Structure 1
């Protein structure tokens, strides 16, 4: 048989060697939960202390870190894993009964703001330690099904049925290589998790949990409202914010750039309902543009259409510069002498704030910035795969809010621990 070397009863060296427990150690060391612990201990005061508040809390964190889908699964793990019990601080190796966890989780529902404060504190610490943290942001919404699958027949809350969730729907469409149009509709009963993340380090900086029916754009405005009020320094440091078509909204783009000088990098929907491919731009008779902001000029003599090249963004004028393609590419244009845009063209952003953005939609810079939007999708994937959001037993908006706050807080605590322990290259890693 395979002989396993005997380990010491408990030492940090052993914990580091074990690997799986390393993540939990980072969480226990760097999660700023002292205020919450003191509050819960004060509430208990002289009550029975068979299972100390801190020990039970640590086991709950362990359940999140090790992806346990239920308390019973966590209790089984604690029963067979003595080192985990020691690390969590359980006395005499006793595992708390299910009733203890049930009461503890009910108490946590009254301290939603404390869990949000833990998240905010971790974000602030990362901003202080990582100089470029938060420069590139991305935003997205993620649907999460409730453990319930329909509206409750009895809408009176009893702690078990879900009286908060509702139905959400997202429609997707595109065009295949052969030109055929495809459509896909996704429906679910539950909630939406809305995230703003750092697009480079793939870590959350703001979040909210809403009913599934809440539109992404409404939640996006609410997140910006919250940041303006509570943590304006996040908006002050950001250079760009990338989002999909769900955030294609003139008001959002205006407030991002006008109020915070954040360049919106948001995909655009085709809102032209008349079937036009192009429209005349400003008062230039030989210049048109499409709904994505591609600008074309037409030779006054031959009528040949050419795409104008990018000349960058003039911040002081708030205009996009477009250059004559004939001059830029060395092409002969027979009508150059009569062309009103032979010397180039300036397009004010106010011409159409959705179409014309500070980073030109037709530029390589826009493509590169928009590619970072997938960072928020990877954070969403980690919630599903590493934190058990695909298979869970959560019912209720407050419970889902606490579950989300804990998962994101743990994600940040691991990243913070990596940085403070000299492993910044592992900030995004949830494994050892």
Structure 2
């Protein structure tokens, strides 16, 4: 499909050599490239990591959600390719930005990666192109931050010479039921024509597109989705801590409440939040709210509860060792089972397991980890060890990967601290199993 028409001389521009250029070949960019390539669009991925680019061009996937055999077919049969050269953007009909937007050490939005890329894009921008930001951020980023940079660097006007929109990524790594293709795509442009252009583009490859009135509405939509989860997880985490004092099994309570067919949505307690969205997204909104002299007290409270969970779990582990094995944490060998932030993936971004390992080491424990999906964690200086439960004073289940025989684990281990209810019935009524 050629570049979307605009209200100016942009309509006379030559059709693009590339339909879609995606800036960022990560957890968002590669699945996006897959769906567009499978829909028959010509796609190029742009990334600053030369090794990653070389891997993609060899058909070797860097993302679990897009297997290498799928990527290799798209590279060989559909012409999907990757590059480090920003000049490729000159020949693209649409430029999708899927770059990290992390938090600073002060828990404030850090847009440096995004804005740096925007400056590079601006010098290559030409009339008739569509630019869409997919990176999670606070309301106003597209219009107040991205738009001025694109206009200043290109000499073009957004809405007149090129289209500009925001469409939040909704990737949940490891899922096969809901993917980039069948999760509805929310789109909001800086004007009606930009919204329509973005909706046409995504509609050519994604099953359903939902348009909103502005990029600000689309930006806040993404934050609401994950803040909803953050708040409800905080609620059940707080309940889990109360249940410990009351001597009630929180897992039994959650399971029972989930039988109600209306008015209740089940969330499970755990050792904290992980991933690239849920632990981070609330801070985008609380930061933006302070700009307009508004305190998001409910959201900030949920953040405090969830951030405290690794510390609570460290105390629970210490208590279990003391009372269950008669050992001090500082004299114990502890195996952390699962270092990824969620089951059956290799993603360790913001994983609560990292903080738990750090806290256990800080208390003097000798800590190892086993994770069938994560061979090594360089920031911890650790590599995954074989699963030999009997070799440790305690096994702490932080991530409940499938494929682990938890009943056998309970049999072999001297002590199990189960933070995910992975042991299920095998851990119920067993003195050597402590549950969150």
**TM-score by shorter chain over 0.5:** no
TM (normalized to structure 1)? Answer: 0.24
TM-score by length of 2: 0.24
More strand by share: 1
Q: Flag the structure with more relative contact order, 1 or 2, with Cα contacts below 8 A and sequence separation at least 6.
A: 1
**Which protein is bigger by CA-based radius of gyration?**
1
